[in-house]
Amino acid sequence: VFICSGAGLPKMMHVPGENLNGVYSANEFLTRVNLMGAGQGDSTTPLRVGKIAAVFGGGNVAMDAARTAVRVGFEQVYIIYRRTEKELPARLEEIRHAKEEGIVFKFLLAPKEILGQDGYVKGVELEVMELGEPDESGRRSPVPTGKTETLDLDTVIVALGTGPNPIIQKSAEAEGLAIITDRKGYITVDPETRATSLDHVYAGGDVAPVGASNAINAMGAGKKAAKAINELLSK
C-alpha cells in the first residue's frame, strides 16, 4: 500500500463565531471561485460577495485569497497577520502584487472572536500582539498585550495553512494497525524508501513530508517508494 492522501485539511482559528455564514477556509474560497465559477452571476454555487473581507494569514495562499477577493468585487480587503511584515512567509512578489492591488495589511493582530448578526459575519474582535522570543521556526513569537480592537467586515477568509486529514491513520488504528505519526499528524517514513512503521505500507507527498512540501519532493517520494516496493515484490 502506498499512501499519498496529501494534507488538504484546512487549519482553522478555533475562535468563537467561526461557524457564522461568511467565514471560509482559503481552500473553499479559492476552489469555489477558480474552479466552480462562484464569482459569476449564473453560478450554481454562488458566492455571497460583501463589501469588506479580511484574510487571516501571511503565506502565499493568503495573498492569493486576498487578491481573488478583490477580483470578485469586495470593496476593501485586509490581510491580518499576527507578526510584522518582516516575518511574512509569502514570497516578496506576492506581497508586492497584493499591495499594488490595494490590499491593506494589518500587522500584530490576532483574531479573538468573529462577531455576528442574524447568523452572518458583521465584524471581528482582534487582539493586539507584540513580538516575544523566537519560536522553533526561528521567528519571534507573537504575545498578547491584553489590548483589543474591532474591525467591521462581512467576510472572513482563513488562510492559516493545511494539515493531514487523520481519517486514514484513525481507520488503520481502529483495525489494530496503528501507524506512527509525528506530533502534527504527519506519517513518519524512512527518508530513502518511504516505508512507514507498518510492514508493506509506504507513504509520500504532503501526508508524509521529508523536507519541503512541494510537487517536486512529492514526485521524488513516489519514485523512491516505487523502487522500494518493486524490490520488496521481487524477493
Partners of 21 in beta bridges: 120
Evaluated on CA atoms 188, 192, 198, 200, the torsion sign reads positive
How confident is the model at residue 214, as a pLDDT? 82
* Cα angle, residue 129 at apex, residues 123 and 133 outer, rounded to 5°: 150
Cβ neighbours around 131 below 10 Å, total: 16
Query: What would the pLDDT profile of 176-225 be if each residue is shown by its tens digit?
Result: 888 999 988 999 999 999 999 999 999 999 999 998 778 899 999 999 99
Q: Cell 521567528 appears where?
A: 139
Q: What secondary structure letter does DSSP report for 6?
A: -
Q: Of 16-20, 107-111, 212-216, give the lowest mean pLDDT range.
A: 212-216
Q: How far apart are CA 26 and CA 10, in angstroms?
A: 8
Q: How far apart are CA 204 and CA 222, in angstroms?
A: 6
Query: What would the pLDDT profile of 46-97 be if each residue is shown by its tens digit?
Result: 888 999 999 999 999 999 999 999 999 999 999 999 999 999 999 999 999 9
For residue 62, give the H/E element and its range: helix 60-72
Q: How far apart are CA 48 and CA 53, in angstroms?
A: 11
How confident is the model at residue 175, as a pLDDT? 87
pTM of the model: 0.84
**Top-confidence range, 5-9, 35-39, 142-146, 208-212:** 142-146
Q: Are the C-beta atoms of 179 and 198 separated by less than 8 Å?
A: yes
Listed residue (30, 1, 4, 73) closest to 159, CA to CA: 30
